[in-house]
Amino acid sequence: QKEVEQNSGPLSVPEGAIASLNCTYSDRGSQSFFWYRQYSGKSPELIMSIYSNGDKEDGRFTAQLNKASQYVSLLIRDSQPSDSATYLCASGAGSYQLTFGKGTKLSVIP
């Protein structure tokens, strides 16, 4: 059974701080990892993808992957109230299906 685990939160951070979101996955065959942002009542939006160990930066977002520990994280620097959303971690392996975590709700306090 492929599983992706996330802390459901809510994670509250003050505006301007760094938000750190974490995710673990069970399938060692997973090759691709994604972070989606989902605002309440909306569909998920892809914000980061990562395929190899290490860090990948895109603007205020940094994704980190450690395949040995089966661990993926997302850092959001200079958090803004508009970053308040649920963040879904997903892993891909095999048949091109993605396995999603249940999401972490982030609240950025002005």
| Binding stretches for other proteins (CB under 8 A) | 31-32, 34, 36, 41-46, 49, 88, 92, 95-98, 100-103
Comparing CB distances to other proteins, the nearer of 53 and 97 is: 97
What is 42-107 written as a DSSP string? S--EEEEEE-SSEEEEETTEEEEEETTTTEEEEEESS--GGG-EEEEEEEE-SSSPEEE---EEEE
Q: Which is nearer to other proteins, 37 or 79 (CB)?
A: 37
CA torsion sign, 16 to 17 to 18 to 19? negative
Q: Which residue blocks in the chain are alpha helix, DSSP H?
A: none
- Residue 69 CB, nearest approach to other proteins (Å): 21
Judged by CB, which is closer to other proteins: 14, or 29? 29
Place of tokens 């605002």: 39
Q: Smallest distance, Å, CB 16 to other proteins? A: 28
For residues 41 and 110, which CB has a smaller minimum distance to other proteins in the complex? 41
We find the least distance from the C-beta atom of residue 74 to other proteins, in angstroms, to be 16
